[in-house]
Amino acid sequence: MMKKTIIKTDKLCKTFSSGGIQQHVLKNLDIRLIEGDFTIIMGSSGSGKSTLLYAISGMDKPTLGDIDFAGENLSKLNNDQLAIFRRNHCGFVFQQIYLLDNMSVLDNVMASGLLVKKNKRELAKKTKELLNQVGINENSWSKFPTQLSGGEAQRVGIVRALINSPKMLFADEPTGALNSSSSERVLNVFSNVNHSGQSIVMVTHDIQTALRGNRILYLRDGVICGDLQLGGYNSEKENIERHEKLRTFLTEMGW
């Protein structure tokens, strides 16, 4: 069966200029992401991982090149159209999570859901389910963001990103600020939504986290220099072979 492309870039370039100096951060990237994949982006700090995520998610415009996202050419959309497109199809988890300070945990998530879905009861049910899954229990649902720890706020942000069952979830080191048990919970939720058909592209520095994916792209100086088909994550126990494969790959990449 032919695998369906969800995102395809054509000679994607991103250049930043400051003080008359140009920095070419993404260089002619031709990337094809497959629907249903859990793609991992790795690479050393400064290699352009975050910039790539911003570009392919329509958060930032490329300097040159095209991005096709589920048949939509992102460069043809104006800012309003892009915002609607993102709201309907994308979820975002970035390193910095911004919750609305004057709304409770529950309302922060529900507000995002209500922009897309109309059935409030269904939405409340799903919100509570997801919050429980990431370990934010009922005691915290009526709290305000300032009453949460950094790790709790991060997890609420993650639930908010998932509430509309996005076609594609973009995550930039989503578990970087979490302790190991919270990370595990969050990654289990990611694996679940991926198994139910949603695509994920996630940047991480952590090998255990990367093992959740089925494909690894390695970025160096704005160029994809490695592309590993790792196969799917099933359970921690079956992971030894994949772990070995990933380590070999990363060694080859000069990790």
Ligand X SMILES: Nc1ncnc2c1ncn2[C@@H]1O[C@H](COP(=O)(O)OP(=O)(O)O)[C@@H](O)[C@H]1O
Which H or E run contains 16? Answer: strand 5-18
Taking the least distance from each CB to ligand X, the nearer of 50 and 209 is: 50
Q: Using CB distances below 5 to 8 A depending on partner kind, what does residue 46 bind out of ligand X, Mg ion, none?
A: ligand X
List the interface residues with ligand X, window 10-69 (CB under 6 A). Answer: 16, 25, 43, 45-51
CB of 18 to ligand X, least distance (A): 6
CA angle (175 as vertex; 159, 202 as ends), nearest 5: 85
Cβ contacts of 195 within 8 Å, gap of 6 or more: none
Cβ contacts of 172 within 8 Å, gap of 6 or more: 49, 50, 53, 93, 94, 95, 202, 203
Which H or E run contains 210? Answer: helix 207-210
Only segment of 4-12, 45-53, 85-93, 208-216 that touches Mg ion (CB under 5 A): 45-53
Taking the least distance from each CB to Mg ion, the nearer of 112 and 183 is: 183
Taking the least distance from each CB to ligand X, the nearer of 95 and 192 is: 95
Taking the least distance from each CB to ligand X, the nearer of 53 and 186 is: 53
Among 39, 47, 50, 108, binds Mg ion (CB under 5 A): 50
| Straight-line distance from the first to the last Cα atom of the chain, in angstroms, rounded to the nearest whole number | 34
Binding-site ranges for ligand X (CB under 6 A): 16, 25, 43, 45-51
